[in-house]
Amino acid sequence: MSTLVEELACERVRPETDHRILVCGGIPCRSLGCRLVKEALEEELQKEGLTGRVPVEIIGCIGDCSLGPSLIVYPEGLVYQKLAPEDARAIVREHLVAGRIVEALLHRDPRSDEILRQREEMPFYREQARLVLRNCGVISAHIDDYLKYRGYAALALALAEMNPEQVIEEVKKSGLRGRGGGGFPTGRKWELVRTAHSDEKFVICNADEGDPGAFMDRNILEGDPHSVIEGIIIAAYAVGAARGYIYVRAEYPMAVHRCREAIAQARQKNFLGDNILETGFSFDLEIRTGAGAFVCGEETALISSLQGTRGDPKPKPPFPAQKGLWGKPTLINNVETVVNIPLIILHGSKRFAELGPEGNRGTKVFALAGKVNHTGLVEVPLGTTLRKIIFDIGGGIPNNKKFKAAQTGGPSGGCLGVESLDLPMDYDSLREAGSIIGSGGLIVMDEESCMVDLARFYLDFNQDESCGKCTPCRIGSKRMLELLQKITEGRGEEQDLEILEQLALLMKNGSLCALGRTAPNPLLSTLRLFRDEYLAHIKERRCPAGVCRSLVRPWINPELCKACGLCARVCPAEAINGEKGVPYEIDLEKCCDCLRCLKECPFNAISQGGISRAEAVD
Amino acid sequence: MEQIIDKYRGDSTAMIAILHDLNAAFRYLPREALEIVSDRLSVPLSYLYSAATFYRSFDLEPCGEHEIQVCLGTACHVRGSERILDALSRRLGIKPGETTADGKFTLKRVNCLGACALGPLVSIDQKHHGHLTIHQAERLLEAYKDEHD
Ligand SMILES: Cc1cc2nc3c(=O)[nH]c(=O)nc-3n(C[C@H](O)[C@H](O)[C@H](O)COP(=O)(O)O)c2cc1C
Ligand code: FES
């Protein structure tokens, strides 16, 4: 029997035989000029008299961002990559007209030197299990395309043949857990909202995607908005809601635009609105945008923001399932969570539960980024090892550098070191290892990444985003950040680590919402795994990875300087001054850290990180 | 101004949407505009300011002619975006969040622009420039300066 993944892949083999070009419209490809490629293609098509015969469309992200700008030519399903507008000519004349594949534009696997034609042949895709991303990069965001691939069939099935309790039962049996970070069992949450007594209930889809390294929700909303909408409608039917909202980050204008269009299309076909598909069930959906506040991803803060005020979080309980929007029972689910729903309804909870270990069913999309060869969205069954994701799918670390750590769960998460490479990536294993899956951000770091700096980075983020309502988070994060700054500037003392640990505990236990309660996590996990690195910053005033600026900036030791002036002559920033007989000095305001002076000095008088050492001596 | 407020007439939840529209129209939230909103929606001015200062998307000072956003998302950070921010900040003689005296450039830090594959990333007037070195970022800035002199 084929797996659900294979079944979906089969379904998605193009039913049409005509040529069609789908250009990747993910953000990296957009930045690299995919629109120009599209225009060039249209121009070439016109020259060949093929205008209108071969549609060229910009769709959502195809997947491997390191190949951009890329496109897929159907019906062959060929991927042409790293394109410039000039390549349009070859694609049209050679491929479309003469029927010869343009080998030069295909992807060549750097490891095997093999030419890879189809998406499915590339290791980046081959090893994935694209359930949630089933339509991303395969179809356009238009409803007609979605309907060709059994779109809204799950909704029709649920409305016609299942009562709300049966839908909830199916979701419960699937074992699906929330993908927004908390991992709460989705079916149970639905049941709570269903059984809450009220004249009115709401459904909210959380598309705030606050982790500053995660982009899966955005790609789904841009590439496959109808799957999100279908999932939300089924959820609304199950819990008994008549109105819903998608709360999208203001920073995602394209996602907002595509969702608006998709909602209008769905309304027109009566998947939304009154008496949906003549079943007597009515539901309508609206888009609301955030305004750039991380805490608004937290559900109670999100509700405050939806009500048109500051996004202040509220103590729980009461949970939104009891008292949410306007005080009414409210279901809040993440984008990725709801995209799983149509699959579960259509293919059955049993098929879904074949993926992933007990208690961690289904797949998870990770946003793979950082020091890794292939950056992009990677969807794998829960329980897949970190090694497989980073090395088999991601193609390993660039420039033959060594893997040092991976950060998961964003600002609320933690680090996993080399010893965790064979750890199954699921909710429970990660929690045991001191991190979380979170929303799926996965940042790879190599030996040139400083873990103390990373902890400072996340604390800076959390401190900046703290809403300031509760003291442990407002002041705790500030004090912790100050201590970390002190350490990264080479002014740290050993006792600072203990103070940091105490403050972390206070914040974890005392903060009002999960932002503050989880904010110390990146610090605690790096401190546990890389304490040596902290100590190097403190005791030796040294940043082993060479990242912390105060510790790597050049400094002229006045005792060794012979005032020869060579350094000043090679300095491109004219940052070194001095005169005969007096030791030279570097103006760090001007210095650009190129370290040419250091290499040039015949007396080894220039070293890195000396400033803080000098201060420590003072 | 009136149009923007009328568009959302009657909807008490529309405050954030109104602020978005005003910010887009004026490139910041002028006090006079907020006073009118306060008057028309019958909400205290302090209430509007509490929201305007809470959300990052709103500016309380006019934005410069060119908006430079340096991505400080995690992926860009591990690829060294902070140094690029420093370099641009030094070149422009302003701190992140400020606008140059001639009103030409506003320098901002943002969280993940969603193009992590291209990091480190700088966006000028919504146009992304990826894989930047410090040197390239400085040259880019010079190009914008020259272009408009
Ligand atoms: C500080 C903070 C930020 C959060 N950001 C998000 C987010 O960006 N997207 C999201 O879906 N959930 C986010 N959450 C989790 C939500 O509060 C909530 O648990 C989730 O949306 C529920 O959906 P799920 O059950 O489908 O996961 C955040 C939580 C906290 C504490
Ligand atoms: S971190 Fe810079 S684009 Fe994502």
Residue A3 has pLDDT above 60, yes or no: yes
Residues 6+ positions from A255 with CB-CB distance below 8 Å = A207, A217, A218, A221, A222, A225, A248, A249
Average pLDDT, chain A: 92
Domain contains B22: yes
Question: Are residues B70 and B25 part of one domain?
Answer: no
Q: Do A371 and B15 touch (CB under 8 A)?
A: no
Domain contains B34: yes
The percent of residues in chain A predicted with pLDDT above 70, rounded, is 97
Closest CA to A500 of A511, A489, A486, A513: A486
CA dist A414 and A353 (Å) reads 28
Average pLDDT over residues A256-263: 96
pLDDT at A226: 98
Confidence of residue B10 (pLDDT cuts 50, 70, 90): low
Least confident interval from A181-185, A581-585, B2-6: B2-6
* B144 Cα to chain A: minimum distance (Å): 18
Residues 62-91 of chain B with CB under 8 A from chain A are 72-75, 77-79, 83, 86-87, 90
Question: Are residues B135 and B71 part of one domain?
Answer: yes
Question: Are residues B113 and B70 part of one domain?
Answer: yes
pTM score: 0.91
Buried b vs exposed e over A506-535: b needs ≥16 C-beta within 10 Å?
bbbeebbbbbbbbbbbbbbbbbebbeebbb
Least confident interval from A7-21, A78-92, A423-437: A7-21
Residue A132 has pLDDT above 80, yes or no: yes
Residues 42-61 of chain B with CB under 8 A from chain A are 47, 50-51, 54-58
| A137: DSSP letter | T
Buried b vs exposed e over B91-126: b needs ≥16 C-beta within 10 Å?
ebebebebbeeeeebbbbbbbbbbbbbbbbbbbbee
Ligand 1 atom having least distance to the Cα of A337: 26
Q: Do B117 and A215 touch (CB under 8 A)?
A: no
**Residue having the nearest C-alpha atom to atom 20 of ligand 1:** A180
B113: domain range? 66-147
CA dist A559 and A467 (Å) reads 50
**Tens-digit pLDDT profile for residues A541-578:** 889 898 888 888 888 888 889 999 999 999 888 889 98
Question: Taking the CB of residue A40, how many other CB atoms lie within 10 A of it?
Answer: 21
Domain contains B143: yes
Least confident interval from A167-171, A319-323, A379-383, B16-20: B16-20
* B115 Cα to chain A: minimum distance (Å): 5
pLDDT at A598: 86
Pocket test for ligand 2, best of B70, B108, B112 (most atoms within 8 A of CB): B112
Give the residue from B54, B75, B94 where a domain finishes.
Answer: B54
CA dist A122 and A114 (Å) reads 10
* Residue A320, both tokens: 């939104």
Average pLDDT over residues A68-77: 88
**Tens-digit pLDDT profile for residues A326-381:** 999 999 999 999 999 999 999 999 999 999 999 999 999 999 999 999 999 999 99
Domain contains B86: yes
**Residue having the nearest C-alpha atom to atom 1 of ligand 2:** B73
Question: Are residues B72 and B7 part of one domain?
Answer: no
Q: Do B55 and A457 touch (CB under 8 A)?
A: no
Question: Are residues B34 and B106 part of one domain?
Answer: no
Domain contains B91: yes
Average pLDDT over residues A175-186: 95
Domain count of the fold of chain B: 2
Question: Are residues B143 and B71 part of one domain?
Answer: yes
Residue A15 has pLDDT above 60, yes or no: no
Per-residue CA distances from A518 to A46, A241, A304, A523, B60 (Å): 56, 32, 21, 10, 31
Cβ atoms of A260 and A219 closer than 8 Å: no
For every residue of A54-117, which 3-state class applies, written as one string? Answer: CCEEEECCCCEHHHCCCEEEECCCEEECCCCHHHHHHHHHHHHHHCCCCHHHCEECCCCCCEEC
pLDDT at B6: 81
Question: Are residues B75 and B43 part of one domain?
Answer: no
Beta strands in A306-386 (DSSP E): 330-334, 363-370, 376-381
Give the number of beta-carbon pairs within 8 Å between A and B: 128
Average pLDDT over residues A7-23: 76
Residue A280 has pLDDT above 50, yes or no: yes
**Tens-digit pLDDT profile for residues B65-107:** 999 999 999 999 988 898 899 889 988 999 999 999 999 999 9
First to last CA, chain A: 74
Q: ipTM, 2 decimals?
A: 0.89
List, as own/partner pairs, every contact residues B42-49 make where C-beta atoms lie below 8 angstroms and the sequence separation is at least 24, other chains included: B43/B15, B47/A309, B48/B15, B48/B19
Domain contains B61: no
Rg (CA), chain A: 27
* Residue A29, both tokens: 């490809």
Q: Do A371 and B79 touch (CB under 8 A)?
A: yes
pLDDT at A542: 87
Give the residue from B54, B80, B97 where a domain finishes.
Answer: B54
Phi-psi region of A175 (alpha: psi -120 to 50; beta: other; left: phi over 0): left
Cβ atoms of A130 and A160 closer than 8 Å: no
Cβ atoms of B128 and B118 closer than 8 Å: yes
**Tens-digit pLDDT profile for residues A398-432:** 999 999 999 999 999 999 999 999 999 999 999 99
Residues 6+ positions from A361 with CB-CB distance below 8 Å = A174, A175, A176, A177, A352, A353, A355, A382
Q: Do A291 and B12 touch (CB under 8 A)?
A: no
Residue A584 has pLDDT above 50, yes or no: yes
Confidence of residue A509 (pLDDT cuts 50, 70, 90): very high
* A360 Cα to chain B: minimum distance (Å): 27
Average pLDDT over residues A388-403: 94
Closest CA to A13 of A139, A141, A163: A139
Q: Do B75 and A375 touch (CB under 8 A)?
A: yes
Cβ atoms of A222 and A254 closer than 8 Å: yes
Cβ atoms of A143 and A269 closer than 8 Å: yes
Average pLDDT over residues A296-316: 93
pLDDT at A2: 67
Q: A586 φ, ψ to 5°?
A: -105, 130
* Residue A537, both tokens: 């910053």
Residue A511 has pLDDT above 50, yes or no: yes
Report the CATH number at residue B72: 3.40.30.10
pLDDT at A351: 94
* B7 Cα to chain A: minimum distance (Å): 15
Considering every ligand atom, which ligand is closest to the CA of A440? 1
**Tens-digit pLDDT profile for residues A136-174:** 988 889 999 999 889 999 999 999 999 999 999 999 999
Angle at B127 between CA A369 and CA B71, to 5 degrees: 40
Ligand 1 atom having least distance to the Cα of A515: 1
Residue B149 has pLDDT above 50, yes or no: yes
Domain contains B14: yes
Domain contains B120: yes
Find the DSSP H helices in A175-327: 186-195, 216-223, 225-239, 253-268, 299-306
**Tens-digit pLDDT profile for residues B27-50:** 899 999 999 988 888 889 998 999
Question: Are residues B81 and B115 part of one domain?
Answer: yes
Question: Are residues B34 and B99 part of one domain?
Answer: no
Tell me the DSSP string of A461-474.
HHHHH--S-SHHHH
Residue B148 has pLDDT above 70, yes or no: no
Decide which of A354 and B13 is more confident.
A354
pLDDT at A283: 98
Q: What is the rounded (10 degree) CA torsion for A247, A248, A254, A260?
A: 0
pLDDT at B1: 76
Average pLDDT over residues B54-58: 89
pLDDT at A617: 41
Domains of chain A with CATH codes: 4-119 (3.40.30.10), 143-349 (3.40.50.11540), 363-449 (3.10.20.600), 452-539 (1.20.1440.230), 553-617 (3.30.70.20)
Question: Are residues B126 and B82 part of one domain?
Answer: yes
Question: Are residues B50 and B74 part of one domain?
Answer: no
pLDDT at A572: 86
Residue A614 has pLDDT above 80, yes or no: no
Residue B56 has pLDDT above 90, yes or no: no
Q: Which amino acid is at A288?
A: R
Question: Are residues B47 and B11 part of one domain?
Answer: yes
Cβ atoms of A590 and A607 closer than 8 Å: no
